[in-house]
């Protein structure tokens, strides 16, 4: 703790880790530094003052450039839990300074999961590149220069801050070191955000492209039994060849006590400008089952099933339904 404020915290870890925190200090003003630890055989503490000799040239280069690109990464690995959503060190400050100097700033993230973006409104674009490997440079260059059209979709929800989503309580994460409390139950990931009516920074399944797509002409076919199919027409309404990822979500009858919507199918569709294609996604018995705790087994509940098709879990373009009889 610096000046009575916790700037870095290490939760229970299975091995040696390094964590970083940032503290804003005033020149010439002394502040107390307090360290609390338990069951720790040894640790090292260090600090570094802001290096204006590195930041100033970056800001100067950004001002003179047509476009500024900032690559920001984080250290991650097995047995190494993140202590928060913010980027490590003072990367947020660097991005903010560069974006303030040049509004046409693009941030490329090499991260293992969602991160906070306090600078989001200042930048022109964000590319979540994850960890692409040794061809990272070629892949990102192809996307930024327009040689390739991005078509990826987020496999996880990006919350606005640490108060959103499951596992926001201390007994859930980081826990007490003995017990793991998964109190979210079946409401994992985007299911929690939907159930709690939380609006995230970026929803599950989200992703932009250099072209646009229209999804319409939907139809649900359910003849009998526990099978159904959903058909929609996907059209590239833009001027670039690209790929849309059509996502199928299903809401179960209330009796099943399931999340408000669940991903039950998706289809990647590559289309030229103006091209359309019909996409059919099927639902079978395994897609429509829910766990019955009383019977201790899987069950297909009778009732109305709502169907949603869209470009993300929050960008729904078609809604339909079908009913399974008792």
Asked if the structure places residue 7 within a domain, the reply is no
Could you read off the pLDDT of 169-199 as tens digits, one per residue?
Answer: 877 877 777 777 888 999 999 999 999 999 9
> Can you tell me the distance from the alpha carbon of 68 to that of 103, in angstroms, rounded to the nearest whole number?
8
**In the predicted model, is pLDDT for residue 65 greater than 80?**
yes
Measuring CA to CA, which residue among 300, 290, 297, 293 is closest to residue 322?
300
Mean pLDDT to the nearest integer, 61-90: 86
Asked if the structure places residue 268 within a domain, the reply is yes
**In the predicted model, is pLDDT for residue 244 greater than 90?**
yes
Asked if the structure places residue 180 within a domain, the reply is no
Asked if the structure places residue 272 within a domain, the reply is yes
Could you read off the pLDDT of 201-211 as tens digits, one per residue?
Answer: 999 999 999 99
Asked if the structure places residue 260 within a domain, the reply is yes
pLDDT (0 to 100) of residue 296: 94
> Can you tell me the distance from the alpha carbon of 250 to that of 319, in angstroms, rounded to the nearest whole number?
10
Burial of residue 116 (CB within 10 Å: 0-12, 13-18, 19+) is middle
Measuring CA to CA, which residue among 198, 267, 202, 260 is closest to residue 233?
267
Asked if the structure places residue 249 within a domain, the reply is yes
Asked if the structure places residue 158 within a domain, the reply is no
Q: What's the whole-number average pLDDT of the chain?
A: 91
Mean pLDDT to the nearest integer, 304-319: 97
pLDDT band at 137 (very low <50, low <70, confident <90, very high): very high
pLDDT band at 13 (very low <50, low <70, confident <90, very high): low
Could you read off the pLDDT of 99-130 as tens digits, one per residue?
Answer: 999 999 999 999 999 999 999 999 999 999 99
Residue pair 157/229 in contact (Cβ under 8 Å)? The answer is no
**In the predicted model, is pLDDT for residue 4 greater than 80?**
yes
Asked if the structure places residue 296 within a domain, the reply is yes
> Can you tell me the distance from the alpha carbon of 211 to that of 236, in angstroms, rounded to the nearest whole number?
7
Q: What is the CATH number of the domain that holds 232?
A: 2.60.40.10
**In the predicted model, is pLDDT for residue 46 greater than 80?**
yes
Q: 267 lies in which domain range?
A: 211-324
Mean pLDDT to the nearest integer, 260-271: 97
Total count of domains within the chain: 1
Both structure tokens of 113: 């999961």
């Amino acid at each position: 703790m610096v000046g009575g404020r916790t700037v870095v915290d290490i939760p229970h870890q299975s091995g040696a880790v390094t964590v970083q925190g940032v503290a804003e200090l005033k020149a010439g003003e002394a502040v107390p530094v307090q360290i609390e630890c338990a069951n720790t055989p040894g640790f090292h503490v260090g600090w570094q003052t802001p290096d204006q000799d590195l930041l100033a040239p970056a800001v100067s280069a950004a001002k003179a450039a047509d476009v500024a690109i900032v690559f920001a990464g984080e250290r991650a690995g097995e047995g190494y839990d993140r202590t928060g959503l913010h980027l490590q060190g003072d990367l947020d400050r660097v991005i903010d300074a560069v974006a303030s100097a040049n509004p046409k700033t693009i941030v490329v993230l090499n991260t293992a999961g969602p991160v906070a973006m306090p600078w989001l409104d200042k930048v022109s674009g964000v590319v979540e590149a994850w960890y692409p490997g040794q061809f990272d440079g070629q892949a990102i260059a192809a996307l930024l220069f327009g040689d390739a059209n991005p078509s990826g979709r987020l496999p996880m929800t990006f919350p606005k801050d640490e108060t959103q989503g499951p596992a926001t309580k201390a007994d859930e994460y980081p826990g007490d070191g003995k017990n793991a409390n998964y109190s979210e139950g079946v409401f994992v990931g985007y299911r929690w955000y939907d159930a709690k009516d939380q609006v995230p920074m970026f929803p599950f399944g989200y992703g932009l492209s250099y072209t646009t797509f229209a999804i319409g002409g939907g139809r649900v076919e359910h003849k009998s039994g526990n099978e159904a199919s959903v058909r929609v027409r996907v059209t590239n309404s833009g001027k670039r060849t690209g790929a849309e990822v059509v996502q199928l979500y299903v809401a179960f009858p209330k009796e099943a006590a399931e999340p408000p919507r669940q991903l039950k199918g998706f289809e990647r569709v590559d289309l030229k400008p103006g091209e359309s294609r019909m996409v059919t996604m099927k639902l079978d018995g395994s897609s429509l089952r829910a766990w019955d705790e009383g019977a201790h087994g899987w069950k297909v509940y009778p009732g109305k099933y709502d169907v949603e098709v869209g470009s993300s879990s929050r960008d729904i373009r078609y809604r339909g339904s079908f009913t399974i009889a008792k």
